[in-house]
């Protein structure tokens, strides 16, 4: 809640600028708004044009100038934090719109891909009443134009010196053709009306998909194969630095996703150091679990033992649910009694799952129409490792993203701060990785094999620092990056390739996890040293989470104020 001090006389101007940012950003990226639970943007089909990006960039730049010009002497202490957060959000969003790296990286990978976002966001919509149904049909009616616009944007970018990659184009084609191969009656985009008792709603949706949306998707796939693929970058030129303006774009992406001034060279070195530090833990836990202490032998056993793979998708869901149940039972030992709803375990639809990460979190809808969900890939269970899914559950649900993001929605902070995901990567993903370690401290892993899975996931996040910078700063090839991932984790060959392709097409985002986690751990140690016997871990967690997602420099200020007894929102 707010401190006792009254708002400053610059309060109204700050609030108005925050609301302007909120509307511009979510109108420009409405599918992300849907995933954040902001149904007021659900009717927007999106606009992939250069003009839309330019307009958003221009509006955000103007807002940013006004935010930075605000006199902090006219703001309360809490409002100064709001201003710092808003400035970071606005400038990051402006850079994102200006550089539009998605448009130089045709892809089927989650948030970075405009086409893939459709397969995540529209199935998360509802049509439970006339208002939500109207929004759903307005979006469907414009979806064909949106896909046409994606193809036009890719072609224009390629012609101007920003061609996509071969691997990204092929993934995009595969995703579209996989979707189109399913009959319209089984279309994932019908989820909002799948349980409707009114057959007219479903018939209307099927007609829009069959006559407008699907033909536009087929045309996009044809354009990608016929016009875009011949110009695409080969696997030895996947670095964004090889395209027009790519070097500057990467510098901006690193700054946005880490909210630090760390350079690519420094981050690369941090990743190598963390990998070296993790090896000693591999030896200890590997000896207990498998009777082996050599990393290569441990990783080989974990990859090749058929008993460490799933037989059914039901088993995958059960492992995640059991981990979540244990975490919920232990929650009060590490956190205040937060009033947040339950987290659901949900399988990712097959079209999204083929190109998705192993798991992701979807926040609850603001209007209560859907709960928060740990969404996980459960297709092809025999290709998936049992030991990875507990760490994933703690990261995505409790004590990770669900606890943090569902709580943020209830905080007494401006709404442009309550609903943040990719906009605040270093905090959000840093917390998710921290949650995996906290779960270990709390004894939540069921056995040492699952703890080896945790170490493999930690090593994977360290690899991200090395590989992301290796590709986009040092110019690594795709194969070199895959080999590095394979040699330093216990993940599957398929996931190693999938991970690398994600870094190729979403420059900088993969850096957020380890950079954010290291800062939270540093601040925890700092607080423990400063407070000594007065240090209470649940109070530290409340200090970190109680102001919502913030840039790492703002987080450090908040924790330092707590250490000295000067409280902000909590």
CA distances from residue 344 to 111, 317, 325, 371, 374 in whole angstroms, order as listed: 21, 10, 11, 7, 6
55-107 pLDDT per residue, tens: 999 999 999 999 999 999 999 999 999 999 999 999 999 999 999 999 999 99
Structure confidence at residue 5 (pLDDT): 54
Q: Are 450 and 287 in contact (CB under 8 A)?
A: no
Residue 4 has pLDDT above 60, yes or no: no
Structure confidence at residue 448 (pLDDT): 97
Rounded to 10°, the helix 425-441/552-563 angle is 50
Question: Phi and psi (nearest 5°) for 44?
Answer: -80, 125
Residue 566 has pLDDT above 70, yes or no: no
377-417 pLDDT per residue, tens: 899 999 999 999 999 999 999 999 999 999 999 999 999 99
What is the DSSP secondary structure assignment for residue 79, as one 8-state letter? H
Give the whole-angstrom CA distance, residue 554 versus residue 568. Answer: 12
Q: Are 513 and 257 in contact (CB under 8 A)?
A: no
Give the whole-angstrom CA distance, residue 437 versus residue 455. Answer: 9
Structure confidence at residue 3 (pLDDT): 44
Rounded to 10°, the helix 77-99/552-563 angle is 160
First-to-last C-alpha distance (Å) of the chain: 5
Q: Are 411 and 418 in contact (CB under 8 A)?
A: yes
Give the whole-angstrom CA distance, residue 498 versus residue 284. Answer: 29
Q: Which of 48-57, 65-74, 102-111, 117-126 has the lowest mean pLDDT?
A: 102-111
Structure confidence at residue 30 (pLDDT): 98
Mean pLDDT, range 542-552, rounded to an integer: 97
* H helices present in 196-330, as ranges: 199-208, 214-223, 246-258, 264-290, 295-304, 313-330
Residue 7 has pLDDT above 80, yes or no: no
Structure confidence at residue 6 (pLDDT): 59
198-247 pLDDT per residue, tens: 899 999 999 999 999 999 999 999 999 999 999 999 999 999 999 999 99
Question: Phi and psi (nearest 5°) for 361?
Answer: -110, 140
- Cis before residue 399, ω within 30 degrees of 0? yes
344 SS3 class: strand
Residue 361 has pLDDT above 50, yes or no: yes
Residue 570 has pLDDT above 50, yes or no: no
What is the DSSP secondary structure assignment for residue 347, as one 8-state letter? E
548-563 pLDDT per residue, tens: 999 999 999 999 999 9
CB atoms inside a 10 Å sphere around CB 96: 25
Structure confidence at residue 436 (pLDDT): 98
252-309 pLDDT per residue, tens: 999 999 999 999 999 999 999 999 999 999 999 999 999 999 999 999 999 999 999 9
Give the whole-angstrom CA distance, residue 400 versus residue 449. Answer: 21
pLDDT over 90, % of the chain = 90
């Amino acid at each position: 809640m707010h401190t006792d001090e009254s708002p400053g006389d610059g309060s109204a101007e700050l609030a108005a600028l925050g609301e302007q940012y909120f509307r511009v950003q979510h109108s420009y990226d409405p599918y992300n708004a849907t995933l954040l639970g902001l149904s007021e943007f659900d009717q927007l089909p999106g606009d992939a044009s250069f003009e839309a990006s330019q307009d958003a960039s221009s509006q955000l730049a103007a807002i940013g100038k006004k935010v930075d010009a605000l006199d902090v002497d006219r703001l309360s202490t809490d409002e100064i934090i709001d201003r710092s957060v808003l400035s970071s959000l606005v400038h990051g969003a402006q850079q994102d719109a200006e550089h539009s790296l998605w448009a130089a990286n045709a892809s089927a990978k989650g948030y970075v891909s405009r086409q893939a976002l459709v397969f995540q966001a529209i199935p998360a919509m509802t049509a439970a009443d006339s208002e939500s149904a109207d929004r759903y049909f307005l979006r469907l009616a414009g979806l064909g134009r949106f896909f046409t616009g994606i193809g036009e944007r890719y072609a224009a970018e390629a012609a101007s010196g920003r061609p996509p990659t071969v691997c990204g184009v092929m993934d995009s084609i595969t995703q579209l053709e996989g979707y189109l191969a399913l009959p319209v009656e089984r279309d994932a985009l019908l989820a909002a009306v799948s349980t409707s008792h009114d057959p007219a709603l479903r018939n209307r949706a099927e007609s829009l998909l069959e006559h407008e949306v699907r033909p536009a998707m087929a045309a996009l796939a044809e354009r990608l194969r016929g016009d875009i693929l011949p110009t695409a970058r080969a696997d030895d030129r996947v670095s964004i630095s090889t395209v027009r303006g790519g070097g500057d774009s990467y510098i901006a992406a690193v700054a946005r996703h880490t909210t630090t001034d760390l350079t690519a060279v420094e981050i690369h070195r941090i990743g190598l150091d963390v990998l070296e530090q993790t090896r000693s833990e591999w030896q200890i836990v590997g000896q207990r679990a498998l009777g082996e202490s050599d990393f290569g032998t441990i990783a080989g056993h974990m990859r090749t033992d058929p008993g460490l793979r799933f037989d059914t998708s039901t088993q995958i869901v059960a492992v995640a649910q059991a981990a979540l149940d244990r975490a919920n039972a232990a929650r009060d030992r590490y956190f205040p009694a937060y009033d947040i709803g339950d987290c659901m375990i949900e399988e990712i639809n097959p079209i999204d799952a083929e190109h998705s990460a192993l798991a992701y979190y979807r926040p609850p809808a603001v209007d209560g129409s859907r709960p928060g969900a740990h969404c996980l890939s459960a297709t092809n269970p025999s290709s998936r490792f049992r030991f990875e899914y507990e760490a994933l559950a703690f990261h995505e649900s409790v004590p990770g993203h669900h606890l943090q993001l569902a709580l943020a929605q209830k905080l007494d902070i401006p709404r442009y701060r309550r609903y943040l995901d990719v906009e605040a990567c270093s905090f959000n993903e840093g917390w998710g990785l921290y949650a995996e370690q906290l779960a270990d401290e709390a004894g939540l892993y069921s056995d040492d094999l699952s703890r080896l899975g945790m170490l493999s996931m930690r090593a994977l996040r360290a690899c991200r620092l090395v590989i992301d910078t290796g590709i986009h700063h040092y110019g690594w090839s795709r194969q070199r990056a895959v080999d590095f991932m394979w040699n330093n984790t216990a993940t599957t060959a398929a996931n190693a390739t999938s991970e690398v392709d994600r870094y190729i097409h979403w420059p900088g985002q993969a850096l957020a996890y380890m950079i954010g986690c290291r800062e939270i751990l540093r601040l925890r140690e700092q607080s423990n040293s400063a407070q000594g016997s007065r240090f209470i871990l649940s109070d530290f967690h409340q200090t970190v989470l109680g102001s919502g997602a913030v840039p790492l420099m703002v987080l450090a200020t908040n924790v330092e104020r707590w250490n000295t007894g000067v409280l902000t929102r909590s």
